[in-house]
Every structure is written in structure tokens, then in C-alpha cells.
């Protein structure tokens, strides 16, 4: 079983300011829906697009009869790439000089229109006609419908939530805290990362996994069965919604199947006995790799309850493991105890 430590959510935790964090999926959905309703795609041929000195910011973009729009840092960077000039270089110029630079470098000859996303008086992004937008609100709606039991992990060290959206992109980190089940004798729960950008900063994608722990830096520890899907914002990008829905549905279906199987296993473990006499049970425990001293302590605890069921012995071994001084011994004994449940499978 190949394990990975996933740091994608940890990276988001440390780069997101407080105004890009959301306490719940509902709050995130409201934000994304409001932004979608307030944003507007405008299509203009390159000849109608010009840079002028701004009022609220040094530069603004005029879009034919639609008027002038203030550039933010992202749309300014996109404009520089479209013109083939360095962003750092333009930042050192006066507004008038920068306008002349763009007037000489922005492509004008193409008949294909530019796609410009505005929000009120701000220009959010600049793209060629080849770009296809997928709104963050569509992904959040997908999660709300098909991943109802999933929620953000515990807050990070700096208060970060795992749910983020800002001017440039969206990122969600969700887990099912009730979805714990057994995989090869160890406990795992399902989770996933989901991301998108309405303005071209990143692809759309999802990564699902089964994990053992999440620390307060939001590093996902010992993840297994990691599955990743991404798609660029081209013509068929909306097909990604159906693909991502199927990925989430498979994760949920596997969670349910594993949880049901684990529940059946526990039910059998509560009734099936490892033996009738202590010495008989001791031999079975030793054969399963349980150290003799721990096996005898567990037998004593189980005998006080008057039963040698598999569940009673696993529970007793877990309590014995909790008294181990060294973490390595405790972890090893916990793993051996969990493996006993396979006898009831």
C-alpha cells in the first residue's frame, strides 16, 4: 500500500489572507454565486482595446463603447503577456509612457475578439477567444449536491479553514469525519481537494484520497488510493463537471461499501470467539504476532468481562497499547490488534 503525504492544502493555508477564507461551504457558495452574478464577459476586437491613464489606478483599459475599466494585478499581468512586455519593466514607467508601450505592442491585426471579464468598474481578466470559463459557483454547487457528508478539516494554525476563494482562484479541502473505515488493518477516512480559476490562474481539478491524519498545517498524512483529475479551460472544459461528479460519486460509493463491510466485520467480531479457554486464545494471539506479555495482559482484561470474542480482545489490546511507554511499541501493538479483525472478515 503506497502512502503519500499531501501538502497542497498546506500551501493554500499559508498563502491565503483572512478575506479569502470561508467558514462553511454555504458561505463559500454565496460568495461565488454573488461574484458570478456581478461579473460580465465582454467580447471586443483587439482594435477596440486600448490602455489609458487611470483615476483609481495608474492604468485602465478602454473597451470600445463599454467604457474604461481599472486593472487589477492579475489582469495587468495578463495584458503584459498579451503585449509581450515585462510586467516589472512596465511598472517602472510613467503612466503616459506605459500607455505608449501598450499602444505599440498590443496585437491589433487579429479578427478574433478578446474575451474580457469585468466586475463593476474592474477588469478581472483578459483572454483570447480560445479560453472557456468555468465558474467557481458551478463547482461548489457540484460539491454541495454530491458530497453532502464532507466538511472542512479542523482550522489550521493561523485560523485558515480549508475553504478559500479570492480574485484569482478557488480551493476546497474537504473530508468525511464519519467515514473512517479499515484498509488492510488500518483506519482511513476519505477526503478530497478541489480547485479552479475563473481568470486563468490554474486549471480545474480534483484529487481524492484516503488518509490517516491531518495536522494543523493541513498536511494530509499517509494518504493512499490518491486519484487526480485536471482539465484546461478550453472548449470542452464544462465536461469536467460530469467527470468530477463521477469521481466524487465513486469515492462516496467506496466509502459506503467499506463502511458497511467494516460494520459487518465488527458485528461478527462481537460474537465470534478466538477460543473457549485462555491457553487456547493465547496460542492464537501469539500466532498473530502479539507479544506474549501484551497477550497475557489482554487476556486478563477480556477474562474479567467473561468473554474471549475478537472484539473484546482487540479492545483489550488497544488499552494495553495505550500504556506502552515508547511510541513505536504502541503503534506496532495497535496495528497487530487491528489485524485481528481480519479473523472476523
Can you list the alpha helix ranges (DSSP code H) found in the chain? 8-15, 25-38, 73-83, 87-91, 95-105, 136-146, 239-269, 278-287, 292-304, 310-322, 327-339
- Per-residue confidence at 173, pLDDT binned at 50, 70, 90? very high
Please tell me what DSSP assigns to residue 46.
G
175 is written with which cell numbers?
473530508
- Please state, rounded to an integer, the average pLDDT across all residues of the chain: 89
Torsion of CA 317, 323, 325, 329, to 10 degrees: 10
- For residues 192 and 110, the model is more confident at 192
Average pLDDT (253-275) is 77
- For residues 276 and 81, the model is more confident at 81
Percent of the chain with pLDDT over 90: 64
With H, G, I as helix, E, B as strand and everything else as coil, classify residue 209. Answer: strand
Report whether pLDDT(207) > 80: yes
pLDDT at 280: 84
Contact in structure between 232 and 203 (CB atoms under 8 Å): yes
Question: For 98-149, what is each residue's pLDDT tens digit?
Answer: 999 999 999 887 789 999 999 999 999 999 999 999 999 999 999 999 999 9
Average pLDDT (226-238) is 95
Average pLDDT (200-213) is 96
pLDDT at 331: 67
Report whether pLDDT(202) > 70: yes
pLDDT at 303: 78
- For residues 221 and 340, the model is more confident at 221
Average pLDDT (249-277) is 79
Cα–Cα distance for residue pair 304/321, rounded to 1 Å:
18
- Per-residue confidence at 345, pLDDT binned at 50, 70, 90? low
Give me the residue spans of the domains in the chain: 4-35+134-261, 46-111, 270-344
Contact in structure between 100 and 165 (CB atoms under 8 Å): no
Report whether pLDDT(1) > 80: no
Report whether pLDDT(262) > 70: no
Average pLDDT (30-34) is 97
Question: For 284-337, what is each residue's pLDDT tens digit?
Answer: 888 888 888 888 888 888 877 667 887 788 778 878 887 876 666 776 777 777
pTM of the model: 0.78
Amino acid at each position: 500500500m503506497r502512502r503519500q503525504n499531501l501538502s497542497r492544502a498546506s500551501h493554500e493555508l499559508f498563502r491565503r489572507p483572512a478575506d479569502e477564507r470561508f467558514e462553511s461551504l454555504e458561505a463559500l457558495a454565496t460568495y461565488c454565486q454573488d461574484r458570478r452574478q456581478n461579473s460580465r464577459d465582454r467580447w471586443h476586437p483587439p482594435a477596440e482595446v486600448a490602455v489609458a491613464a487611470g483615476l483609481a489606478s495608474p492604468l485602465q483599459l478602454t473597451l470600445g463603447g463599454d467604457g474604461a475599466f481599472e486593472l487589477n494585478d492579475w489582469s495587468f499581468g495578463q495584458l503584459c503577456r498579451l503585449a509581450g512586455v515585462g510586467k516589472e519593466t512596465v511598472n517602472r514607467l510613467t503612466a503616459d509612457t506605459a500607455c505608449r508601450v501598450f499602444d505599440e505592442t498590443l496585437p491589433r491585426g487579429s479578427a478574433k475578439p478578446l474575451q474580457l471579464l469585468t466586475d463593476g468598474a474592474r477588469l478581472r481578466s483578459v483572454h483570447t477567444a480560445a479560453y472557456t470559463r468555468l465558474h467557481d459557483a458551478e463547482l461548489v454547487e457540484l460539491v454541495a449536491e454530491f458530497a453532502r457528508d464532507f466538511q472542512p478539516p479542523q482550522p489550521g494554525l493561523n485560523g485558515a479553514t480549508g475553504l478559500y476563494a479570492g480574485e484569482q482562484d478557488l480551493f476546497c479541502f474537504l473530508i468525511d469525519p464519519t467515514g473512517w473505515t479499515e484498509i488492510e488493518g488500518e483506519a482511513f477516512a476519505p477526503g478530497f481537494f478541489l480547485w479552479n480559476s475563473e481568470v486563468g490562474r490554474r486549471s480545474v481539478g480534483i484529487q481524492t484520497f484516503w488518509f490517516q491524519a491531518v495536522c494543523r498545517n493541513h498536511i494530509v498524512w499517509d494518504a493512499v488510493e490518491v486519484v487526480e483529475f485536471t482539465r484546461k479551460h478550453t472548449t470542452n472544459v464544462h465536461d469536467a463537471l460530469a467527470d468530477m461528479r463521477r469521481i466524487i460519486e465513486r469515492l462516496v460509493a467506496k466509502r459506503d461499501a467499506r463502511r458497511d463491510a467494516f460494520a459487518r466485520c465488527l458485528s461478527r467480531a462481537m460474537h465470534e470467539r478466538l477460543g473457549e479457554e485462555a491457553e487456547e486464545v493465547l496460542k492464537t494471539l501469539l500466532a498473530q504476532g502479539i507479544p506474549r506479555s501484551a497477550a497475557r495482559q489482554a487476556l486478563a482484561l477480556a477474562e474479567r468481562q467473561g468473554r474471549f470474542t475478537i472484539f473484546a480482545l482487540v479492545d483489550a489490546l488497544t488499552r494495553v497499547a495505550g500504556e506502552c511507554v515508547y511510541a513505536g511499541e504502541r503503534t506496532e501493538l495497535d496495528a497487530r490488534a487491528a489485524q485481528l479483525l481480519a479473523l472476523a472478515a
